[in-house]
Amino acid sequence: MTDPSTEFAEVFNGADLPQALISAKTGAELLDISERQWHRLVQRGLLPKPIRLGRNTRWKLAEVEAALDAIPPSEA
């Protein structure tokens, strides 16, 4: 398995990753899951709540990474 932080860095082309905001589609692609599953993880509290920017919904990449690190293997 590849290092997720390396994979995130490749996707964002060296952007300031701690401040990066991602959509559900991008997050789901990074985790290789469906958008529906992404939203289920948010509803279960395993991923952070999103930020609403007008009509757009985004997640802070750093918060998503921290949440993923905190998920016990039995919950994943």
Q: Report whether pLDDT(58) > 60.
A: yes
Residue 75 domain flag: no
Residue 76 domain flag: no
The structural domain count of the chain equals 1
Q: What is the pLDDT of residues 10-51, one digit of tens each?
A: 666 655 555 789 999 999 999 999 999 999 999 999 999 999
Residue 66 domain flag: yes
Please choose, from the candidates 43, 24, 42, 20, the residue with its C-alpha nearest in 3D space to the C-alpha of residue 34: 24
Q: Are 50 and 42 within 8 A, CB to CB? A: yes
- Helices 24-31 and 4-12, interaxial angle, to 10°? 140
CATH code of residue 35:
1.10.10
CA dist 6 and 23 (Å) reads 19
Give the domain extent around 52: 4-70
Q: The tokens of 68 are what?
A: 């993923």
